[in-house]
Structure 1
Amino acid sequence: MAKFRRTPEGLTTLTPEQDIYINENYLIVPIKTIARNIGKTSDLAVRTRMTQLGLIVPPELSAARKKEGMFRKGSVPVNKGKKQFEYMSPEQIERTKATRFKKGSSPHNTCEKDGVIRIRTDHKDRNGRQYKWIRISLGKWKQLHVYNWELKNGNVPEGSLVTFKDGDSLNTEIENLELITMEQNMLRNSIQNYPEDMKEIMLLKGQIKRQINKHKKDSK
């Protein structure tokens, strides 16, 4: 295959030699491949020149090329099991070096140390509540209210969750935290549908039940 000198960046005009190559190959070689073969980093110059020359790829040929280019289920990538120099030219390899993620490097937004606290919005919450998160190790974060509760009480039991007594999700002081079951949490979320007097009774019942459970736990 003929080799062509790469033209300076930004120029859209092609040499007579490149025009001849396009004329002879546009019906048998994909346009992107033609662009690479004549030293262009983009196929835009080739497409523009083809329009100027009145060269048109038939729709059925264009559709066939697209179909051939699709990666089908079960297909094996051409570079599978190969070393980079086996499927890339030295020039292509050199260009990839500038964007490689170097071993030992961290993303630009990585926190500098453990214990850093950030506030994040829970987009799954219909009210868009905000919570504090603490970095406990590189790449590992935990909600601060859960972290604080577990420091004193151990892991949160399955089927339970840590919530806020005053309803403020940013008040993560241990005195403001309490452990409730999923059932209790569901009741709290639906209690707003009841009259005020019923709300008070239901809340009082929950408080009494928690005190009884606490007493049982302390007496063991």
Structure 2
Amino acid sequence: MPPTSQWQEWQCDYLRENYPHGNTNAIAAHLGFPPQRIRTKANELGVAKAPGAKAKRTGKFTPQMDDALREHYATKTNAEIAAMLGMKRIEVAHRAMTLGLRKTKETKGRTVREIMLRMGPRQGQFQPGIVPWNKGLKGYSVELGRSHYKPGNVPPTHVPVGTERWTATPKSKPDAPRYLRRKVAEPNVWKMVHHIVWEARHGPIPDGHVVVFIDGDTANIEIENLYCLPRTSLGIANGARVPYHLTDAYRLMRELQQTIEDSDK
């Protein structure tokens, strides 16, 4: 059998003409090459299968069978149609895809139920009334015959109160700001350090308010660089690019401007 480099021109022409819509195995048998050699050569020649070609390659459906398929496909399962036409279910599915046929929602549900019945009961599936053997045995080890954890066990990831860590940025926003957190209580209570610094000077942060960094640097956690403002003002500052401490004045200016415009109408 000749290698790919010894292909003759008429063989290449035949491949260009028949590969997009033809059966690869039939083309291989006609040219005397294995199917994989046919696919490789088609790729070298830049020839690809046409859309839907795989669904059309059986070539067993007559016009009368196509009419029957159009009539019954929406309301019958592929198994029922295959038995009626003397075909395989996969051949029915391929031909229906070629003809652009779709099943109704009810038929799809019936198809799923038939598939589940053919598969039989699922191995390991819990049946109603079954009580799991490990119910109430939290952390139970079959090998040890007891719980993995003893009273007072400290996990290896434990860190003491006062530990500080930077928050991680989401993969979707790698340039998002990071904030320093500090562990303030056991077992796993953390708080933003800039909140701690603000509250040490001014007391608890009011509801609906946020503490921001005046220079935008989240690593500059000095009290002079922190400012507390309502969330509504934060939207104004970010949207109108107004300094945080001027948001109240900006809002009053906009309200005055709107009042003047309304009076002129």
Per the normalisation by structure 1, the TM-score is 0.48
Q: Does 1 or 2 have the higher relative contact order (CA < 8 Å, sep 6+)?
A: 1
Whose Rg is larger?
A: 2
